[in-house]
């Protein structure tokens, strides 16, 4: 065999083997897939939600239990944050703190974001399993879905495995759940393989009158300059909500949207505005459906009590923005809502949003 042909053959073999290795190390979720639901009641079958009942919901980005004693590399605009991972002691402490808050609030449904499982920088632990061990008596039912998963990420700050989930805990019976893939960043194909792949985790709760309630948990992409990925993701969320409306399905959607409400961009310090758009991509959602907190609340005299984010940026001394929201079907009646700030400021860079609703009776 001529030498040039052999060289071409070797190159082709190298490229092929590299491609196989790359594919094997990365994750390739389906656009839509059913995910397992676990309902393990200790004494009896979990109760079924009934019309006329109140339903308390909490959404909280727990920041993989890292806490507030760090400035991670991604916390600074130029990637210069000095910290790469939390200590095992902080992970254990913040796990207990998250469990404390949940047990104190005792919401009927808990939507969690940034829950690690198998990640090098959090000691490969399954944080959902550790949390469930502390609240199993309150939440017999649960479901989960990854939105970042790779056996190896070559970024120097990670240089190992990642695993990050959405997790939903429920006091009430869950019938089924599914993971719906959201639009991804338009970066090059190889980069996308190692990046988060945002999703919607949709859980279906049966109602005693034969209807169902769809509860959606999500964490949208962080802001990327010049990208329309958040606009496309918001459009996908809105489309799902509209489909629930068309099918007469009650629904609640909560999570970390990584976007600002009306008017908040202008109130941020100038150096903090760069990641966001002056006109929020969330507009398409708040114009269509009720939102917690509402734009009136985040622009009123008491707007500070509706802040849900306290970035790990040393230039920021306290909560200064709202990125976590609950949207809900107009058929549900909101009873009350709030952000729990006072004793959660050091647990995560996000604070939990809590809302109570009344489930309406079936129309005759």
Residue 78: CB atoms within 10 Å: 6
pLDDT score of 77: 85
Structure tokens at 74: 């991604």
Cβ neighbours for 131, distance < 8 A, ≥ 6 positions apart: 95, 98, 99, 102, 112, 115
Distance CA 224, CA 235 (A): 17
pLDDT score of 22: 52
Distance CA 112, CA 201 (A): 11
Distance CA 54, CA 56 (A): 7
pLDDT score of 9: 58
pLDDT score of 127: 98
Going by pLDDT thresholds of 50, 70 and 90, the confidence category of residue 225 is low
Q: Calculate the alpha carbon distances from 327 to 50, 57, 282, 290, 331 in Å.
A: 21, 11, 11, 6, 12
- pTM of the model as a whole: 0.93
Greater pLDDT, 44 or 305: 305
Distance CA 170, CA 279 (A): 35
Going by pLDDT thresholds of 50, 70 and 90, the confidence category of residue 239 is very high
pLDDT score of 18: 47
pLDDT score of 79: 87
pLDDT score of 364: 45
Greater pLDDT, 9 or 99: 99
* Residue among 324, 321, 347 nearest 337 (CA): 324
Q: From edge to edge, which strands make up the β-sheet containing 212-219? A: 32-35, 176-181, 199-206, 212-219, 250-256, 324-328, 291-292
Please say if the pLDDT value at position 24 is more than 80: no
Please say if the pLDDT value at position 32 is more than 70: yes
């Amino acid at each position: 065999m001529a030498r040039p042909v052999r060289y071409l053959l070797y190159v082709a073999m190298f490229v092929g083997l590299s491609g196989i290795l790359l594919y094997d190390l990365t994750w390739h979720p389906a656009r839509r897939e059913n995910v397992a639901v676990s309902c393990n009641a200790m004494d009896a079958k979990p109760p079924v939600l009934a019309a006329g009942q109140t339903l308390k919901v909490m959404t909280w980005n727990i920041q993989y239990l890292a806490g507030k004693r760090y400035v991670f590399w991604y916390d600074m605009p130029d990637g210069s944050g000095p910290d790469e991972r939390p200590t095992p002691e902080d992970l254990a402490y913040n796990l207990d703190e998250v469990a404390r808050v949940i047990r104190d609030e005792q919401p009927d449904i808990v939507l969690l974001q940034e829950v690690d499982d198998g990640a090098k920088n959090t000691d490969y632990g399954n944080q959902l399993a550790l949390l469930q061990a502390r609240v199993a008596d309150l939440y017999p039912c649960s479901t989960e879905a990854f939105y970042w998963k790779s056996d190896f990420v070559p970024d120097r700050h990670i240089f190992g495995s990642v695993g990050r989930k959405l997790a939903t805990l429920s006091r009430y019976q869950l019938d089924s759940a599914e993971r719906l893939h959201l639009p991804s960043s338009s970066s090059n194909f190889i980069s996308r393989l190692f990046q988060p792949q945002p999703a919607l985790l949709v859980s279906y709760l049966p109602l005693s009158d034969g209807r169902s309630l769809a509860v959606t948990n999500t964490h949208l992409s962080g802001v990327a300059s010049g990208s329309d990925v958040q606009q496309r993701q918001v459009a996908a969320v809105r489309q799902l909500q509209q489909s629930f409306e068309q099918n007469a399905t009650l629904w609640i959607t909560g999570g970390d949207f990584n976007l600002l409400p009306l008017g908040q961009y202008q109130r941020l310090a100038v150096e903090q505005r760069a990641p966001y758009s002056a006109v929020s991509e969330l507009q398409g959602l708040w114009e269509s459906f009720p939102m917690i907190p509402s734009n009136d609340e985040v622009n009123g005299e008491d707007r500070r009590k509706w802040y849900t984010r306290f970035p790990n940026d040393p230039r920021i001394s306290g909560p200064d923005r709202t990125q976590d929201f609950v949207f809900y079907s107009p058929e549900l009646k909101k009873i009350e809502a709030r952000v729990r700030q006072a004793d959660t400021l050091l647990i995560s860079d996000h604070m939990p949003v809590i809302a109570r609703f009344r489930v309406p009776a079936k129309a005759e």
